[in-house]
Amino acid sequence: MDDASIDPDATGDDGDLPEAAGRRLGSGSFSSGLTVPDFAACLQMGLAPVALVQGFCVMQWGWYGQGSPYSRGMTPYAFSGPSVPRGVYSESYQCPHGGYSYSNEHRVWGQNYQQPWVESAWAEGFTSSYTRMVEEATEVGAHGIIGVVDTTRHLADMNVTEFHMLGTAVVVRGVAAPSGATPWTTYLAGQRLAKLVEAGYMPVSVVASLASVRVWAYCVTEMLMEGRPLSAYGAGGYLPVAEVEQLSRAHIAARSLAREHVRSQLGHDTLQGAAIVANTQSLAQGDEVIECALRGTRVRRFKDFDPLPAPRPTVRLS
Amino acid sequence: MTQPQDLPKEAGHRLEELEHGLFTSDLSVNEFLLIKEAGFHPLGFVMGSSIYHTGIQARRWSKSQELTKLTEAMYNARELAMTRMEEEADQLGADGVVGVRLDVNYYEWGRDAAEFIAVGTAVKAEDGTSHRNAQGKPFTSDLSGQDFWTIMQTGYVPQGLVMGTCVFHIAHRGIGQTLGTVGQNVELPNFTQALYEARELAMTRMQDEANTLGATGIVGVRLEEKSHQWGSHTIEFLSLGTAVTKSSGEVTLPKPITIISLDN
Amino acid sequence: MSDPGWAQAPTGSDLAAEMRLAAASLGKPAHDAPSRAVTSDLSVDESLLLHSIGWEAVDVVFGASVVSIPPFVWTWGSGEITAASEAHNLAVRSAAKHLGAQCTEVRGHGVVGVHVEIEVQRHHVDVELTGTAVRPVKGKDTNHPFVSDLSARDFTLLHNAGWGPVGLAFGASFVYAPRRSAGTAMRQSSQNVELTNFTEAMYAAREAGMEHMQRSALDMGAQGIVAVRVSEGPMWFANHAIGFTAWGTAVRLEAQAHQYLSPQVVLPLDDAVVEFDVQSLR
């Protein structure tokens, strides 16, 4: 059956979707967020758009909880010694100046550490909004969702983050979806999706992950970043041109962690079209919070293909 | 007007390195490959610049006129920048410079001063034949790599970047004149005349430069209008193009395939 | 599960058949699965181009470096601000080294499509590099990975022409704008003249920056630098100090000679669509 007429009563439990979603999805005509060229490509691939589906979730950050960047005065160590949880990134730095004779302000210890509580809150928000979008798609009997647009908006003054996912649910003509299968999802649509399939890859799902690394600066980092030489602490010295190793390593760690989080969701599949957004929040005195979000489409190779012959170079006359 | 041999000494080391075989270019990979197709090899990224003080010139509020001192200043400044760029190309033994870009930068610490920069990539023919222009100097052109390849296929060769400039002051209208035309659809002959004249002056000067080079014609002419830092009643009209002559080669441009692309 | 391949451009009905085949494959175990999942920030087009020369993507890799600039260097002086130039060049070198190290770890031959982000602040320079490590499918490992800001497409084009990237060539230089004495300033205010000391200062900055870039390319054994990108301007926090940076990809001819492309000339018949904007009639 080609057109997507749905009987809302037949699909069972709506879960936690708003009531209006049920009415919209049951309306019988299709809606889609695709542009005209993408719509044409979609039909050419044998996909029929069914409905525009979305999922939404608002998460509150527990700023005053463990490891809050705003709670100074606590020990800088989130993890130390044998209590470091396995697989969590952390690196300590010690003052090289034999520091106790300096003022109280001299930061003799510093640490870079991963903040898994932040990461899991983000993951929860993302997964909830994703799951709700997929639920809407399942309700209309879709096989997949294409052209997913995923927006994360942070309302700083309320410590709240909104996750919104929107996509076009489609049905693959001529294929009966195996029962109980979750719709496949992808950020791609139109010609880019067509090329992906022609290249031998099938999208499996959208994947995304956040890594959060907190830097508690030690004395060397603080001085180099603030431009205040040791003499401010009552000892002579000057500041050279030097790599601020603590920060360099924290930046690389944040990005690498985001990549590894995503890799753990891939199984044996490949991540296509990775997009990275890194955000650095500078707190006082050289401290930083670095957050890096990595998004992409998980794809699976479904056929071999011979390499393309080298494409013909052309020069346009206009 | 031009002063040869006035490159600052700092330019020396860098150009020497380029003469020993390393090439640099700000051409994209596409352009690099097309330059090679045309039988040329890039030698080096060349640039010339000049920081010029563009001073004041008295102007009558109610008269439309060319501000000749400012015209001269803008012209001299660009000439200095272009000449220095040509000298760097000359030092490398280049046949010409492609992809020339002329930019003007303003800095907050220099009131009424602007920096004029000319940058491009110097190239040399791989078969050793000289492609220098009628004056024996490396040709300059603002043609991109693609345009350079295309024009070489048509049997025309670039001679030089030619420009004409004119700084014009547009008279302010008196109160009587403004009130007299309120609410009417009417041509403003003063403005029309002024702007017409200014553009013609700029383009004629550009044509004169091309004639000096013995060129057959000018391609890719661009007319730019800028007020720089003088306020909206003073405008510089700059006309730029690449002067070309017909060489002895025949047209080797292959017949194009017509396509319709279905991209967004 | 093998497919006849690209004998001809797929037509519409072939594409729908491919889609059905693809969707059906989700229920079965992965075909030809690598032991470690591959990540890549290349587009599909770029992946296909790489595949056409027998290369593949391995992993997204990162390099980053923060280098401090000593205090008081931005106070108006004269000549080159060597501390800032040193800091910039050290930061880019260090970040490129980390990137290369990550590339070697995943057995890549080099990194393409490197996105270069450089920020000069008052007390530090931050450099962040992100790219995709690539390798020839049937190739031995190498100890000298290249780092290049060429897109995978440009990399493939150069490869077909016989050239290969060697590394990222970069240079930077910072100078003070010279001061004019009050007397000179007044004398110059009504004349249209060249400000020779300013000109020389800017030349000094540019030439020093470009020379460092050239030297970094020569040190890598390169024959040239393509797609040089240049940026210059005053520092936002100290606008009497001017920074000049240049970077590009250093390349070397790897084949015996340059391979000519013989491009096809095409004449697109798409005219630009002129949109009629009703709003403009108000």
Q: Which two tokens stand for residue A182?
A: 């979750």
Q: Do C124 and A44 touch (CB under 8 A)?
A: no
Quick check: is A5 in a domain? no
Residue C232 or B214, more confident: B214
Q: If you compute the radius of gyration of chain C from its CA atoms, what whole number of angstroms results?
A: 25
Q: What is the DSSP letter of B91?
A: H
Q: Do B146 and A313 touch (CB under 8 A)?
A: no
- Structure confidence at residue B192 (pLDDT): 77
CA distance A10 to chain C (A): 25
Per-residue confidence band for C2, with pLDDT thresholds at 50, 70 and 90? very low
CA distance B120 to chain A (A): 22
Q: Which residues of B touch C261 (CB under 8 A)?
A: 33, 37
Residue C9 buriedness (CB in 10 A; 0-12 / 13-18 / 19+): exposed
Residue B12 or A211, more confident: A211
Q: Which residues of B touch C258 (CB under 8 A)?
A: 36
- Least reliable range by pLDDT among B40-44, C29-33, C75-79: C29-33
Examine the pLDDT at B33 and tell me if it is beyond 60: yes
Examine the pLDDT at C148 and tell me if it is beyond 80: yes
- Structure confidence at residue B108 (pLDDT): 64
pTM, entire model: 0.80
Residue A28 buriedness (CB in 10 A; 0-12 / 13-18 / 19+): exposed
CATH superfamily placement of domain B10-176+187-246: Hypothetical protein apc22750. Chain B (3.30.110.70)
Per-residue confidence band for C63, with pLDDT thresholds at 50, 70 and 90? very high
Q: Do C228 and B24 touch (CB under 8 A)?
A: yes
What is the SS3 assignment for B115? Answer: strand
- Structure confidence at residue C280 (pLDDT): 45
Count how many residues are written for chain C: 282
CA distance C266 to chain B (A): 5
Residue A77 Cα distances to A109, A246, A290, B3, B190, angstroms:
9, 15, 17, 67, 77
Q: Do C10 and A198 touch (CB under 8 A)?
A: yes
Using one digit for the tens of pLDDT, what is the confidence trace for B136-151? 899 999 888 888 988 8
Quick check: is A312 in a domain? no
Whether the CB-CB separation of A238 and A229 falls below 8 Å is answered with: yes
Whether the CB-CB separation of A132 and A166 falls below 8 Å is answered with: no
User: What subunits make at least 3 CB pairs under 8 angstroms with B?
Assistant: A, C
Q: Which residues of C touch A301 (CB under 8 A)?
A: 30-33
3-state helix, strand, coil in chain A (%, to 5): 30, 30, 40
Q: Any idea what the Cα angle at residue B98 is, between residues B93 and B104, rounded to 5°?
A: 110
- Residue of B241, B240, B236, B198 lying closest to B219 (CA atoms): B241
- Structure confidence at residue A210 (pLDDT): 94
Q: Do C37 and A271 touch (CB under 8 A)?
A: yes
Quick check: is A113 in a domain? yes
Q: Do B146 and A315 touch (CB under 8 A)?
A: yes
Quick check: is A310 in a domain? no
Q: Is C224 on the interface with B (CB under 8 A)?
A: yes
Using CB atoms and an 8 Å cut-off, which of residues 281-300 of chain A contact chain C? 294, 296, 300
Q: Do C263 and A314 touch (CB under 8 A)?
A: yes
| A40: closest chain B residue by CA | B262
Best to test chain B binding among A38, A39, A315 (most B CBs inside 10 Å): A315
Examine the pLDDT at B7 and tell me if it is beyond 70: no
* Structural domains in chain A (count): 1
Q: What is the mean pLDDT of chain B?
A: 82
Quick check: is A311 in a domain? no
Can you tell me the distance from the alpha carbon of B122 to that of B94, in angstroms, rounded to the nearest whole number? 6
Q: Do C27 and A178 touch (CB under 8 A)?
A: yes
DSSP string computed for A213-225? EEEE--HHHHHHH
Using CB atoms and an 8 Å cut-off, which of residues 255-274 of chain C contact chain B? 258, 260-270
Nearest to B10 among C189, C207, C262 (CB): C207
User: What subunits make at least 3 CB pairs under 8 angstroms with C?
Assistant: A, B
Using one digit for the tens of pLDDT, what is the confidence trace for B81-136? 999 999 999 999 999 999 998 888 777 666 677 888 899 999 999 988 888 888 88
- Structure confidence at residue A209 (pLDDT): 95
Count how many residues are written for chain A: 318
| B43: closest chain C residue by CA | C224
Q: Which two tokens stand for residue A237?
A: 């010295």
Quick check: is A212 in a domain? yes
**Amino acid (one-letter) located at A101:** S
Average pLDDT over residues C14-30: 81
Q: Which residues of A touch C91 (CB under 8 A)?
A: 243
Domain boundaries, chain B: 10-176+187-246
Residue B41 buriedness (CB in 10 A; 0-12 / 13-18 / 19+): middle
Q: Do A316 and C268 touch (CB under 8 A)?
A: yes
Using one digit for the tens of pLDDT, what is the confidence trace for B238-255? 998 999 998 876 777 777
Range of A56's domain?
19-301
Q: Which residues of C touch A302 (CB under 8 A)?
A: 1, 21-22, 25, 31
3-state helix, strand, coil in chain B (%, to 5): 30, 30, 35
Nearest to C67 among A173, A244, A301 (CB): A244
| C261: closest chain A residue by CA | A313
Residue C83 Cα distances to A239, C172, C179, C196, angstroms:
11, 11, 21, 25
Examine the pLDDT at C12 and tell me if it is beyond 60: no
Q: Do C30 and A255 touch (CB under 8 A)?
A: no
| C232: closest chain B residue by CA | B105
Q: Do A35 and B264 touch (CB under 8 A)?
A: yes
Using CB atoms and an 8 Å cut-off, which of residues 246-265 of chain A contact chain C? 247-248, 251-252, 255-256, 259, 262-263
Q: Do A225 and C160 touch (CB under 8 A)?
A: no
Whether the CB-CB separation of A199 and A305 falls below 8 Å is answered with: yes
- Structure confidence at residue C30 (pLDDT): 63
- Structure confidence at residue A16 (pLDDT): 66
Q: Is C234 on the interface with B (CB under 8 A)?
A: yes
Q: Do A37 and B264 touch (CB under 8 A)?
A: yes
Q: Is B258 on the interface with A (CB under 8 A)?
A: no
Going residue by residue through chain A, which has 318 residues, state the pLDDT in tens, using 9 for 90 and above: 333 333 333 333 445 677 777 777 776 667 777 777 888 888 888 888 888 899 999 888 765 455 455 444 345 555 555 555 667 888 888 887 765 556 667 777 888 988 888 888 899 999 999 999 999 999 888 999 999 998 888 876 667 888 999 999 999 988 776 656 889 999 988 888 988 888 888 999 999 999 999 998 988 888 888 877 665 554 555 678 889 999 999 999 999 999 999 999 998 889 998 999 998 988 877 888 999 999 999 999 888 766 667 777 777 775
Q: Do B256 and A35 touch (CB under 8 A)?
A: no
- Structure confidence at residue C146 (pLDDT): 92
Using one digit for the tens of pLDDT, what is the confidence trace for C204-263? 888 889 999 999 999 999 999 998 888 887 788 887 888 889 999 999 998 888 888 788
- Structure confidence at residue C6 (pLDDT): 29
Q: Which residues of B touch C206 (CB under 8 A)?
A: 47, 49
Residue B87: in which H helix or E strand, if any? Answer: helix B68-91
Q: Do A241 and C123 touch (CB under 8 A)?
A: no
Q: How many CB atoms lie within 10 A of CB B13?
A: 15
Q: Do B52 and C218 touch (CB under 8 A)?
A: no
CA distance A37 to chain B (A): 7
- Structure confidence at residue A204 (pLDDT): 92
Average pLDDT over residues B169-187: 72
Task: Count Cβ neighbours within 10 Å for each residue of A219-252 and write b for 16 or more, e otherwise.
Answer: bbbbbbbbbebbeebeeeeebebebbbbbbbbbb
Q: Which two tokens stand for residue B53?
A: 């003080």
Residue C67 or C5, more confident: C67
Examine the pLDDT at B177 and tell me if it is beyond 60: yes
- Structure confidence at residue A123 (pLDDT): 92
- Structure confidence at residue C9 (pLDDT): 44
Q: Which residues of B touch C222 (CB under 8 A)?
A: 22
Q: Do C261 and B8 touch (CB under 8 A)?
A: no
